[in-house]
Amino acid sequence: MMGGSASESAYRVLMGVLESRTGQTLSPSRIWRIEMSLKPVMQRHNIADLDALVAALVTSNSRQLLDDTVDAMLNNETYFYREYSLFDDIAATVLDKLREINKLRRRLTIWHCGVSTGQEAYSLAMLIAEQGEKWAGWQVDIVGTDVSYHAISRARVGLYSQFEIQRGLPVQRMVRWFDQTEGGWLVKADIRRRIDFSVQNMLTDRPPLASPADLIFCRNLLLYFSAPMRQKAFAKLRTMAAPQSFLVLGAGETVLGQTDQFVASPRLRGLYEPADQQVRRAAAA
Amino acid sequence: MSKSCLVVDDSKVIRKVARHILESMAFAVEEAADGQEALTFCRANRPDVILLDWNMPVMSGMEFLGAFNDLDYGHEERPRVVFCTTENSIDHIRAAIEAGADEYVMKPFDRETLEGKLQLVGVA
């Protein structure tokens, strides 16, 4: 038995639905949580158990049920300034490097792929806002995409609970960039307007970038893909990356043995660069 | 050497919970039941961080902070102060920052939140 009380075929169908819709697979450690994750969906749609849910998915053609089911199986874990030292490095060196690279066209495009409920994208927007004058006269676009429509809806609103607001966010930034409302802590409009959030499948959709991305955040997402899907994902990231750009992965993620599209940046610790660009630079040297 | 934390709260239960969390993070923990006790402790000791409640009898957290700011730690670094309170309005939080608090934890909180805040002030 793979999980709780449902039949194995029900789990297989659900995992198939998740993979076909998002490219993601469920690790054994997540399979046992399926039933718990889907409980609210089953209650909302008045469905008794997982077997009945699978039957409804197969027979009802309900788009809403399908969206809700896939959404509930995704891991939307994120928080503000996740790995604080990384954001320190971005503020201290990465943004300066990107300003240098793009100084002639005065344009910066950031793509956060797998943005979830938006906390890390808002953290980036806060960093840029805090650098104020440095970016005067620049067009800075931040695009956040995620396959979860529920997560993107929340990201767009920018409203966070007391629990969420306390995770990783320094208090000085909290009072500077958030308003306290009856419903929670709302990101100020000046930060919200800097980010364009949209529902996208990174494997099949083209992100709405006005120009190739100079900085790509794709953290703790690729680990949910199978090896072939991960290769496809890296190829997509490379397609969307500017020649001189940087890729940021999750703390436990690497490109080593995963792809030859990106290599560790010799210029910025912990970041990755398009491999072909490095070859070109080495040849020119 | 382990870091030290002074937990200042009039609730014995809160002090116990905080002690449990902090000791699991290898902190040496001292307790005070109000601002006056905390001030007496701080005149003789230098904890790395102070976890401070707002509303307490005898001397409140804000009154403590006012007196604490006048203490002279010489060449040693001033202890970090993290407010830990049910006073969750933005006005309270602003007032605490202006009074010199380094971080702010709104109750209720969990271990991860507290650990994150202690990391932000550089003691964890």
State yes or no: cis peptide before B108, omega within 30 of 0. Answer: yes
What's the gap in Å between the CA of A102 and the closest CA on chain B?
A: 32
Q: What is the pLDDT of chain A when averaged over all its residues?
A: 92
For residue range A30-62, list pLDDT tens digits in order. Answer: 777 888 899 999 999 999 999 999 999 989 888
Q: Do B94 and A84 touch (CB under 8 A)?
A: no
Average pLDDT of the residues in A90-119: 97
Query: And the tokens for B114?
Result: 């507290």
Residue A30 confidence (pLDDT): 75
DSSP B122: T
Of the pLDDT bands very low, low, confident and very high (cuts 50, 70, 90), residue A5 is low
Q: Which of B111, B117, B119, B121 to mutate to test the interface with A (most CBs of A within 10 A)?
A: B117
- pLDDT for res A9: 86
How close A211 gets to chain B, by Cα (Å)?
Answer: 35
Q: What pLDDT sits at residue B63?
A: 97
pLDDT digit string (tens) for B80-107?
Answer: 999 999 999 999 999 999 999 999 999 9
In the stretch 156-185 of chain A, residues with CB closer than 8 A to chain B read 162-163, 166-168, 170-172, 174-175, 179-180
DSSP per-residue codes, chain A: --SSSS-HHHHHHHHHHHHHHHSB---HHHHTTHHHHHHHHHHHTT--SHHHHHHHHHHH--HHHHHHHHHHHS-----TTSSHHHHHHIIIIIHHHHHHHTTTTTEEEEEEET-TTSHHHHHHHHHHHHTGGGGTT-EEEEEEEES-HHHHHHHHHTEE-HHHHHSS--HHHHHHHEEEETTEEEE-HHHHTTEEEEE--TTTSPP--SS-EEEEE--SSGGGB-HHHHHHHHHHHHHHEEEEEEEE--TT---TTT-SSEEE-SSSTT-EEEHHHHHHHHHH-
CB pairs under 8 A between A and B: 33
Q: How far is A80 from chain B (nearest CA, A)?
A: 11
The mean pLDDT of A240-255, rounded to a whole number, is: 94
Å between A252 CA and nearest CA of chain B: 19
Q: Could you state, in chain order, the average pLDDT of each consecutive group of 10 residues for chain B (124 residues)? A: 94 95 96 97 96 96 96 90 94 96 93 94 93
B30 Cα to chain A: minimum distance (Å): 25
Q: Is B89 on the interface with A (CB under 8 A)?
A: yes
Question: How far from B87 is each of A203, B6, B53, B58, CA to CA, in Å?
Answer: 46, 20, 9, 18
Give the tens place of pLDDT for each residue, A165-180: 999 999 999 999 999 9
B104 touches chain A (CB under 8 A): yes
For position A285, what pLDDT does the model report? 66
What confidence score (pLDDT) does residue A252 get? 86
Per-residue confidence (pLDDT) for residue A6, from 0 to 100: 67
CB of B121 within 8 Å of a chain A CB? The answer is no
Q: What is the ipTM of this complex?
A: 0.90
Q: Which of A162, A167, A172 sits opposite B116 (nearest CB)?
A: A167
Residue A1 has pLDDT above 70, yes or no: no
Of the candidates B90, B106, B120, which has its C-beta nearest A170's C-beta? B120
Pick from A167, A172, A180: which is nearest to B90 by CB? A180
pLDDT band at A243 (very low <50, low <70, confident <90, very high): very high
Q: Which of residues 45-84 of A touch B (CB under 8 A)?
A: 84
> Does residue A98 surpass a pLDDT of 50?
yes
| Chain A residues closer than 8 Å to B87 by CB | none
**Hey, which of A70-74, A150-154, A269-273, A280-284 has the most confident mean pLDDT?**
A150-154
